[in-house]
């Protein structure tokens, strides 16, 4: 339909919120399942967040494991505070 825009998902934000909720590293597969996205889409967004310094990752065996950084936590805090104003 003309004039109707589909709302674009904030996948990066969803990933950061998921990592923030977890107390231990999560795998790319866990992120993909939680967000209902493909493994490849999750991996691309996680790499992008790593380059931005919001997430850190490490390879453990055949798995990539991810955690939110302090910079990522701070960004979420700022977003929450501005949303409550």
| pLDDT values of the chain reduced to their tens digit, one per residue, 85 residues | 455 554 567 999 999 999 999 989 999 999 999 999 999 999 999 999 999 999 999 999 999 999 999 999 999 999 888 876 6
Strand ranges, E, within 1-85: 26-27, 55-60, 63-68
Domain 11-78 matching CATH 1.10.3720.10: the answer reads no
Count Cβ neighbours within 10 Å for each residue of 37-61 and write b for 16 or more, e otherwise.
beeeebbebbeebeeeebbbbeeee
pTM of the model: 0.84
Domain boundaries, the chain: 11-78
């Amino acid at each position: 339909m003309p004039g109707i825009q589909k709302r674009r998902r904030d996948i990066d934000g969803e990933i950061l919120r998921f990592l923030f909720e977890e107390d231990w590293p999560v795998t790319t597969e866990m992120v993909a399942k939680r967000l209902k996205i493909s493994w490849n889409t999750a991996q691309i967004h996680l790499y992008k967040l790593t380059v931005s310094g919001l997430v850190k990752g490490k390879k453990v065996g055949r798995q990539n494991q991810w955690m939110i950084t302090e910079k990522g936590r701070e960004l979420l805090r700022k977003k929450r505070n501005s949303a409550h104003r």
